[in-house]
Amino acid sequence: MENFPLWTAIVTPMNTDGSIDYDSFENILKKQEEAGNGVLVLGSTGEGLNLNEEEKREVVTFTKGLELDIPMMVGVGGFDLPAQADFIHFCNEIEPDAFLLVTPLYAKPGAEGQFEWFSELMAETEIPCMLYNVPSRTGVKMHPNVPARLSKEFDHLMGVKEASGSVEEFKEFRRQAPDIKFYSGDDGLTPAFSEEGGVGLVSVAANVWPKATHKYTELCLKGKTDDLFPIWKNATDALFNAPNPVPAKVLLNRKGWITNDTVRLPLSLGDISEELEQELLKADKEISSWLEKH
C-alpha cells in the first residue's frame, strides 16, 4: 500500500428503491482500478451508516470478490462497540487491505475515552488501521496525542485521515506524532496539507474525476500546485455545496457512470438546485480539459 497515496472514498450506488446497485458499483470500482487509486468502501461518502449490517457485509464481500488490482479499505464507524468488533471479525475473514476507524460518534469522548475506544477496536485485528478525525460529523475532535499513544501500542497503525478542515490542527497532529503518516481528508486542503508533511489524500472528488484527482494528488505531493487554481478550488467547492455524497452521486449519474442518483434519508436530492447541478457540469468540463493538458 506504499504506492497508494490516493484513496477514493467510494459512493454506494443505489437503485430507485434504495437497494444497492451492484452493476453500477462494479463500474465505478473498475474506473478506480484504471486510475490506480485505492478504494475506501463504507465511508461516510459511501453512506456506510445508512446501510444495515447485512448490506455492509455484502458490500465488502462483493468488492473483494472483484479481485481488483488495487487495495480495499473498509470503513468502521458508529457508537456500538460490540457491533463494530463483530463487523471487524467478519472482515478479518474477507481480508481487506486496511480499516478506517472513525472517532466515536455522538458521545464526544475525551482523550482517554478516544484512546481506549481505538485500542479496543485495533486489538480485534492485525490488518492495518487508519484513524479518521472528522469533527464536523462526529461532534468531537480527535485529541492530538491519541495517534502518538496508539502508535506505541500497535504496530498496525498505518496513518491518520485528517479532516478537521484546519491547517493549524493538521500541523499540531504532525508535531505530536511526526513519525505517523497523515492523509488529507479534504480535497480542497490537500495542497496545504502536503506542504505540511501530508503523504496523500482520501478523496471524494476522485469518485467523479479518478484520473484527474490522481494527477492532482501527485502534483500536490511534489509541491507543483501553481496551475491547480482556481480550477480545482471551484470544482471541490461545487462538490461540497450540498451534503456529501449527494453532489457526487448526481454528477456520476449525469456522466452515465451510475444508473441512478438515489440517496437514503436523511440525505435528499432536494438539496441539489438547478444552479448547483450546472456548477457541477461546468466543473466536470473544466477538470476534463485540465487533465488533457497534463
pLDDT tens-place string over residues 3-44: 789 999 999 999 999 999 999 999 999 999 999 999 999 999
Mean model confidence pLDDT for the chain: 95
> Which pLDDT belongs to residue 4?
86
What amino acid is encoded at 25 in this protein? F
Confidence of residue 294 (pLDDT cuts 50, 70, 90): confident
Mean pLDDT for 183-193 is 94
Evaluate if residue 215 carries a pLDDT over 80: yes
User: Considering only 7-21, 149-163, 205-219, 223-237, which range has the smallest mean pLDDT?
Assistant: 223-237
Mean pLDDT for 159-163 is 94
pLDDT in tens, 59-118: 999 999 999 999 999 999 988 999 999 999 999 999 999 999 999 888 899 999 999 999
Confidence of residue 1 (pLDDT cuts 50, 70, 90): low
| CATH, range 6-222 | 3.20.20.70
Evaluate if residue 274 carries a pLDDT over 70: yes
Report in angstroms the alpha-carbon separations of 132 from 52, 59, 114, 162: 21, 20, 12, 6
Evaluate if residue 132 carries a pLDDT over 90: yes
Residues assigned a catalytic role: 132, 161
Residue with cell 452521486: 249
> Which pLDDT belongs to residue 2?
57
Mean pLDDT for 230-235 is 94
CB neighbour list of residue 71: distance below 8 Å, 6 or more residues apart: 1, 4, 38, 39, 97, 98
> Which pLDDT belongs to residue 199?
96
> Which pLDDT belongs to residue 111?
95
Q: Is this prediction's pTM over 0.85?
A: yes
> Which pLDDT belongs to residue 5?
95
Evaluate if residue 288 carries a pLDDT over 80: yes
